[in-house]
Amino acid sequence: MSETTSAPSAGTTGDGARHISGVAIRLDGVTKRYPGQDHPAVDDVTLEIAAGDTVMFVGPSGCGKTTLLKMLNRLIEPSSGRIHLGDEDVTDQDADQLRRRIGYVIQAGGLFPHMTVSTNIGLVPKMLKWDKERIAARVDELLELVGLDPALYRDRYPRELSGGQQQRVGVARALAADPPVLLMDEPFGAVDPITRQRLQDELLRIQDELGKTIVFVTHDFDEAVKLGDKIVIFDVGARVVQYDTPERILAEPAEEYVADFVGAGATLKQLTLTRVGDVELKQVTTAAVGSDSTQAVAAARAAGDDFVVVLDRRGRPISWPTLAELGRTTTVPDTVDERLPVVGLRSTLNDALDTMLAASQGGVVVTGRRDGLAGVMAVETVMAAIQRSRAEVAG
């Protein structure tokens, strides 16, 4: 049997101990042979994933990533080998039971079109025979968690949602019964780049809060670098070529194969490692919806700001009017600026630049916990930070 492949656990990032609700996953010599195939699709894979880690599966098409993922929740039966969740061997556990402990998110959300958002999200709790009130409360809590207003969305049908919103509901549904493990199979593959970036940011935020164990299949190496505590690079037969942190894979590809896969731009990809939260943000004047406009304008003038960030009743930024625009109102309006460029603290500098370009704006609003305002960042700050990291990479 092959040696156990594992990597040191993610530990904590920055501000102290992280809450972890996930459990470890251990694969022991797991193999899948499809009938009629000469070679196993997954050949004797031994792998350990630490509790609370987000581990990204990447590798060429057909190398067995999806097969391996689906063996974890037994949508595909392994031909041999053992699978453990925490201390428990679940290889022979009833597949339905198992799936209640493992959330599953696929491309385009995989929602049932004839069911409302709340029915979709409540499916597993209903199977678990929760009472109606508990399910309704859980649905609302999850919609909040994934950034959708329950009052607006709970009774809609999937066709009445954008691709990004469907994907959010897909994540909410997977989290419904609070499973310790989340499997994600190219969940953001079908949405446009800016929506994809927002969904990635949301996932990072949710994961900071929940600390699940997440296994995530992607074709996008930048996505793997951004989201992963670890990345597994597979070759044919799901052979583990390298299993390490994004930083180490970029800095020291284990084999020429990995270097090729990561691409010639590896040094530049280091830039995707720099997060918005690593850069000093500018603090600006804020005004609550419904407060006095004249006062807000005066405060901004005194601080030398030429715009004000308007916060809704929960402290979330919704617009950033100039002083001239605000001066034309008496109370601070509650109009949501749909084009407001927003990124999270865990977004990469590349994301921030993309968001500015997409909105044709010279800056972005940055949000932190529960979408509250963390500051703003000007395009000059991003460019300066990119130049600094470029100089560091060049040595």
If binding is defined by CB under 6 A, does position 38 make contact with ligand ATP?
no
What DSSP designation does 82 have?
Answer: E
CB-based contact 288:384 (threshold 8 Å): no
Three-class DSSP category at 265: coil
If binding is defined by CB under 6 A, does position 218 make contact with ligand ATP?
no
CB-based contact 8:52 (threshold 8 Å): no
Q: Give 239 or 316: the residue with its C-beta nearer to ligand ATP.
A: 239
Q: Give 65 or 138: the residue with its C-beta nearer to ligand ATP.
A: 65
Among 37, 97, 330, 360, binds ligand ATP (CB under 6 A): 37
Q: Give 76 or 393: the residue with its C-beta nearer to ligand ATP.
A: 76
Q: Which stretch binds ligand ATP (CB under 6 A): 33-41, 43-51, 194-202, 347-355?
A: 33-41
Give the C-alpha separation, 155 to 9, whole Å. Answer: 41
CB of 214 to ligand ATP, least distance (A): 17
**CA angle 175–315–305, rounded 5-degree value:** 135
User: Which tokens in the block code for residue 37?
Assistant: 């195939």
User: Which tokens in the block code for residue 236?
Assistant: 């044919």
Q: Which stretch binds ligand ATP (CB under 6 A): 56-64, 101-109, 170-178, 204-212?
A: 56-64
CB of 127 to ligand ATP, least distance (A): 26
CB of 27 to ligand ATP, least distance (A): 14
All residues at 6 or more sequence positions from 149 whose CB lies less than 8 Å from its CB, including other chains: 143
Number of residues that bind ligand ATP (CB under 6 A): 11
Site for ligand ATP in 62-81 (CB under 6 A): 62-67
CB of 238 to ligand ATP, least distance (A): 8
Sign of the CA dihedral running 190, 246, 11, 377? negative
CB of 234 to ligand ATP, least distance (A): 7
Q: Give 34 or 112: the residue with its C-beta nearer to ligand ATP.
A: 34
Q: Give 110 or 344: the residue with its C-beta nearer to ligand ATP.
A: 110
Q: 72-97 burial, b if ≥16 CB within 10 A, otherwise e?
A: bbbebebeebebbbeeeebbeeeeee
Alpha helical stretches, state H, 146-245: 150-153, 163-175, 193-210, 221-227
Only one residue has tokens 């501000």, namely 15
Among 61, 97, 330, 360, binds ligand ATP (CB under 6 A): 61
CB of 72 to ligand ATP, least distance (A): 12
CB of 239 to ligand ATP, least distance (A): 12
Helices (H) and strands (E) in the chain, counts: 16, 16
Beta bridge partner(s), residue 181 = 102, 213
Q: Give 66 or 270: the residue with its C-beta nearer to ligand ATP.
A: 66
CB of 316 to ligand ATP, least distance (A): 37
Taking the CA of residue 188 as centre, how many other CA atoms within 13 Å lie in the half-sphere pointing to its CB? 21
Beta bridge partner(s), residue 348 = 275
Q: Give 41 or 85: the residue with its C-beta nearer to ligand ATP.
A: 41
Q: Give 59 or 122: the residue with its C-beta nearer to ligand ATP.
A: 59
Q: Give 228 or 341: the residue with its C-beta nearer to ligand ATP.
A: 228
Task: Name the percent of the chain in helix, strand, coil, to the closest 5.
Answer: 40, 20, 35
Interface residues with ligand ATP (CB under 6 A) are 34, 37, 41, 59, 61-67
